[in-house]
Amino acid sequence: MAEPKSAELMEKIVSLCKRRGFIFQSSEIYGGLNGFWDYGPLGAELKRNIKECWWRAMTRLRDDIVGLDASIIMHPKIWEASGHTSTFSDLMVDCLLTKKRFRADQVEPQAGIVYYYSGVQEDSYNYFLHSKELKDAIPSWEEEVAREGQERRSAALESLVVKHLLVSEDPAKQKLGKSFLDASKGERMQPISYAVLLLPGKPPESARKIATQYYQERGFVHPKLLGERTEKVENSRCFNPENGSLLTEPAPFNLMFKTYVGPQAVPPLDFDPADDPEEWEYWAKAFRENERNVAYLRPETAQAIFAQFKNLLDTARQKVPFGVCQIGKAFRNEINPRNYTFRSREFEQMELEFFIRPDEAVEAIYGRVTSPTGPGHPGEPQPSWGWQTWHQYWVEERLRFYESIGLPRNSLVEYWQKPDELAHYARATVDILYKFPFSKRDEKGELMGEELEGVAARSDFDLSQHQRFSGKPMTVFDEELKAAWPKLDEAKKAALSQRYLEARRTYLAKAGEAADKAEKQAREDAEALAKGYYIPHVIEPSAGVDRLALALICNAYCEDQAPDEKGNLESRVVMKLHPRIAPITVAIFPLLKNKPELVEKAKTVRDLLRPHMAVFYDEAGAIGRRYRRQDEAGTPFGVTIDFDTLGEKGPELKDTVTLRERDSMKQERVKIGELVPLLLQKIR
């Protein structure tokens, strides 16, 4: 669990985001919709800047990556090929009491005493005996029954009830009498077992209370708990950490949002199948038809890149190694959206598929495959790189990117997935984590981080799958490979062919092909390699825009001291967003709003800067307050136009302004004419 300090910090961040217009709850006026968020004026700019920076770094500043902007809804076969239809599911568990749903792997292991119950008995009779209503209606019943002796107890009570209640004129008494006779007729016993983990610091009664509530939910009015026994457990994930109730067994839950393409046949609201079985048959057929038009909102952007691979290859004038990147919305019906925007149901991704030669092709052409020589950035791409070097290159490139927009290296964690965590087709995956305030802590109390991005070496799995499912070839022809192959000695040819064949055979077998078919196909693939054909392998850096926006916001939030108008220190909240991604780059302030010359000059400066960067003009309120507002918005620069600017204190300061830097609060005098290049240099 996050420490209270972190929770407090998150509360402050969430409140600032709402107050300043970074992030709003979606559909707030209707009570919100869990897992959906809207970005206000500052948040929208922040997200745009993040995406701009990423797109620029991926495409504009490189020769080897092109972009794609694909549709959100695609042919459902795509999700069969990618495995999302069958396997894109998380295991979920439900609280048996509250029905709250959790991702099974997110339930923290717990230790403590479990109260088990073997069943329940309806205990209305007993309850009735102790009820206040009975005491009020027949105050002397206990003494009267006692006089009759133990064996006649029930019969004596029944007679009393008939005499005092059933024959009474008072309808309330009659009702009470009737319910007593009902309760006395039979005691329902059911062997429904249940268990509760006693939460730390709570008395045993609290476990019994939870169990009673559980049975009440199942229709027992006055449940009597049966067969109570206790047992100590360690490391159990079977109980709801919030109330101790037993959870259901883990069950898979598909995360894709389902929809229908084309108008759907829907029966009239007042249609009752019992009225017209024939019409019902018609609607049943229509429903089956609807199911044929099922489609999904994409759960990731990447698949479109694979599905469009051939078109991209034919038009982009690129040769392997090259990449295709895309930014766009993705949707996942997350079981438990949480941690503010971190786990949402609608979010944006920035994904790159970087296609590379299989190592066998690299070795055939260059005589060797260059593997990483040590940790760190391997430098400028080289043609002899194998997948491992490319993978390391992309991990390091992505880390550099995060640093370039203001996330310090020590706030990031490079997490190498362990073999048992890897997807079956992945050769290696590095998750880049950011130490969010709500991240788990290790035993030393250090934040461990949560995933911002995954960088996966996915072999040739994706294109191979689309080749199998679509029946369209996803191979590329590599001139250099074709030229190099005949020059290899026979032993080398045999070794490379064999390695390639084995890799293909393994893939095909895992994909479910029959052994003989897999063998035949793998041999053909190995023969094609010798002629210069192969399915490219891929390195996939896949990042989330919203998670990055949240990381940048968390990283930027800061409370410090700043002088007020009179020079006295006051505390301020400042968002130390990097100038490259800050929603507003520069704020323009005329010193006084009632001096037309100052206002006019300030507007001239605003118009001068506007075409180059995001500018905010503000003339309302004391200058100190205007600074504070911009500090909270994360605006890195403030320009004040004062009487010196107008030349009132001498010609040497005329047409100069005060440029104030948000973080250091340093102020310098700058010529208006120099502002654009100076500021551009800081945001490029």
User: Residue 21's closest CA among 575, 640, 607?
Assistant: 575
Among 49, 542, 640, 645, binds ligand ATP (CB under 6 A): 542
334 vs 644, beta carbon nearer ligand ATP: 334
161 vs 327, beta carbon nearer ligand ATP: 327
Residues 614-653: x where in contact with ligand ATP by CB under 6 A, - otherwise, as a string: ----------------------------------------
User: Residue 65's closest CA among 305, 299, 301, 298?
Assistant: 305
Among 347, 393, 401, 534, binds ligand ATP (CB under 6 A): 347
Q: Which two tokens stand for residue 401?
A: 């990117």
Report the residue closest to ligand ATP, judged by CB: 544
CB of 341 to ligand ATP, least distance (A): 7
Binding flag, residue 102, ligand ATP (CB under 6 A): no
Binding flag, residue 451, ligand ATP (CB under 6 A): yes
Other CB atoms within 10 A of residue 468 CB? 17
Q: How many helices (H) and strands (E) does the chain have?
A: 23, 29
42 vs 452, beta carbon nearer ligand ATP: 452
CB of 302 to ligand ATP, least distance (A): 9
Identify whether the C-beta of residue 393 lies closer than 8 Å to the C-beta of residue 411.
Answer: no
Binding flag, residue 344, ligand ATP (CB under 6 A): yes
Residues 6 or more apart whose CB falls under 8 angstroms from that of 427 comprise: 387, 391, 457, 458, 459
User: Residue 553's closest CA among 50, 25, 37, 7?
Assistant: 50
68 vs 114, beta carbon nearer ligand ATP: 68
Radius of gyration, alpha carbons of the chain: 35
Binding flag, residue 458, ligand ATP (CB under 6 A): no
Map the footprint of ligand ATP across residues 262-301, applying CB under 6 A. 300
Binding flag, residue 414, ligand ATP (CB under 6 A): no
Number of residues counted as binding ligand ATP (CB under 6 A): 16
Binding flag, residue 438, ligand ATP (CB under 6 A): no
110 vs 542, beta carbon nearer ligand ATP: 542
Binding flag, residue 43, ligand ATP (CB under 6 A): no
User: Residue 386's closest CA among 352, 363, 417?
Assistant: 363
CB of 105 to ligand ATP, least distance (A): 9
End-to-end CA, the chain: 40
Binding flag, residue 343, ligand ATP (CB under 6 A): yes
CB of 547 to ligand ATP, least distance (A): 4
User: Which residues, in sequence order, are bridge partners of residue 555?
Assistant: none
As a whole number of angstroms, the distance between CA 138 and CA 161 comes to 8
Of the listed pieces 41-49, 352-360, 537-545, 651-659, which binds ligand ATP according to CB under 6 A? Answer: 537-545
The separation between CA 16 and the C-alpha centre of its own chain, rounded to angstroms, equals 21
Cα four-point dihedral sign 317, 323, 326, 330: positive
Identify whether the C-beta of residue 444 lies closer than 8 Å to the C-beta of residue 468.
Answer: no
Binding flag, residue 465, ligand ATP (CB under 6 A): no
* Edge-first strand listing for the sheet containing 667-671: 615-617, 586-590, 637-641, 656-661, 667-671
Among 326, 349, 497, 658, binds ligand ATP (CB under 6 A): 349
Map the footprint of ligand ATP across residues 366-405, applying CB under 6 A. none
Of the listed pieces 320-328, 543-551, 593-601, 633-641, which binds ligand ATP according to CB under 6 A? Answer: 543-551
Exposure of 236 in the CB half-sphere (CA atoms within 13 A): 22
553 vs 659, beta carbon nearer ligand ATP: 553
Site of interaction with ligand ATP (CB under 6 A): 300, 332, 334, 343-344, 347, 349, 451-454, 542-544, 546-547
